Amino acid sequence: MAQTVIIEAFGGPEQLKLVDRPVGEPGPGEIRIRHEACGLNFIDVYQRTGLYPLELPHALGMEAAGVVEAVGDGVSHLKPGDRAAYAAAPPGAYCEARVMPAAQVCPLPDGISFEQGAAMMLKGMTVQYLFRRTTPLRKGDTVLFHAAAGGVGLIACQWARSEGITLIGTAGTDAKCALARENGAAHVINYRDEDFTARVKEITGGKGVDVVMDSVGKDTFEGSLDCLKPLGMMISFGNASGPVPPFNLATLAAKGSLKITRPTLFSHIAEHETCQQMARELFDKVESGAVRIAIDQRYPLAEVAEAHRALEARKTTGATVLLP
């Protein structure tokens, strides 16, 4: 048996329930992993509220790290006793132990702690696909990154600095702006005090940025389009303020033949080898010191509802981990 966080109905944090569930043995292509730490991400909120529907009842959580206890037939990249971490479907990472598909579970280097592993996989591989796989980015390019002091944002700031990319970060407080700057943002904008679109134009001498990376959604979408230079790329990869409403595609033409994409990590990591390669590149960034994983909040698994409340209220910085 393993303590596991489930929901039986969509709604607020009060829907999160801690129950005992049987774990079982791994089948072909599966592993059993005992978690040392679990990650907290906005996708968990989207699933809890029903924005991303699940068949109920369902366990939550997309990211964790721990020790492999058993492997099923056909699993060759992991063995019992291995340290491992993952960001992977199906949801169910908020637990002491689970059986799950092995393909997206990655061997965790000894130099990276379980807490770091649980805090970095979804966020770090998101940054990897944003900078490596979504649109070509080169040294000297300029990126606008919203929520730059969040878990994904702080990794993005450091990643950009390590590759000579100018990152303009937005955040909602002066303290969060300072944190983004400390982590490598070349410029910071407190969007509660300043019009971020006007400030971006000022910073870029009226040219705009090459790419916008926006996980906020509804509240920043239109302003973000106005920050792009002609032929620029809008990457909308989250909905923290709510989903982007429908808009007229002709708007992209009128604003300079802009490009737009709505990617998800899970499309990028669907193939086993691609997922493992992305993880290795992330691990290299962390082990080299180019990227430091900031874990600013820790909660016992039993206090998962409080962790969700803090995340939704934007009271967190960096990453949050849940400890079974």
CATH number of residue 45's parent domain: 3.90.180.10
- Per-residue pLDDT, 239: 85
Tokens of residue 301, six digits: 């698994």
**Rounded Cα distance, 48 and 200, in Å:** 35
- Residues 103, 171 within the same domain: no
Q: What percent of the chain has pLDDT over 90?
A: 94
Contact status, residue 1 vs residue 21, Cβ threshold 8 Å: yes
Is residue 191 pLDDT above 90, yes or no? yes
Q: Which of 214, 229, 262 is the last residue of a domain?
A: 262
DSSP tag of 68: E
Please check whether residue 129 lies inside any domain of the structure: no
**Which runs of consecutive H residues, i.e. helices, occur in the chain?**
42-49, 114-132, 151-162, 174-182, 196-203, 221-225, 250-254, 265-268, 272-288, 304-312
Over residues 168-189, the pLDDT tens digits come to 999 999 999 999 999 999 999 9
Q: How many domains does the chain have?
A: 2
Query: Is the model's pTM score more than 0.95?
Result: no
DSSP tag of 15: G
Tokens of residue 118, six digits: 């649980």
Please check whether residue 127 lies inside any domain of the structure: no
- Residues 273, 258 within the same domain: no
**Rounded Cα distance, 305 and 283, in Å:** 30
What sign has the CA pseudo-torsion 90, 87, 175, 148? Answer: negative
Q: Which of 53, 52, 51, 64 is nearest to 5 (CA)?
A: 64
**Band of pLDDT at residue 157, cut at 50, 70 and 90:** very high
- Residues 71, 154 within the same domain: no
Tokens of residue 25, six digits: 């043995």
- Per-residue pLDDT, 242: 85
Contact status, residue 101 vs residue 283, Cβ threshold 8 Å: no
Is residue 138 pLDDT above 90, yes or no? yes
**Rounded Cα distance, 102 and 32, in Å:** 9
Task: Write the CATH number for 143.
Answer: 3.40.50.720
Q: What is the mean pLDDT of the chain?
A: 96
**Band of pLDDT at residue 318, cut at 50, 70 and 90:** confident
Tokens of residue 250, six digits: 């002709």
- Residues 285, 204 within the same domain: no
Is the preceding peptide bond at 243 cis, omega within 30 degrees of 0?
Answer: no
Mean pLDDT of 231-253: 93
Q: Which of 322, 301, 310 is nearest to 19 (CA)?
A: 301
- Residues 87, 108 within the same domain: yes
- Residues 203, 112 within the same domain: no
- Residues 102, 18 within the same domain: yes
- For 73-101, give one letter per residue: b (16+ CB within 10 A) or e: eebebbeeebbbbbbbeebbbbbbbbbbb
Tokens of residue 178, six digits: 């300072």
Which residues span the domain enclosing 42? 2-122+269-323
Please check whether residue 64 lies inside any domain of the structure: yes
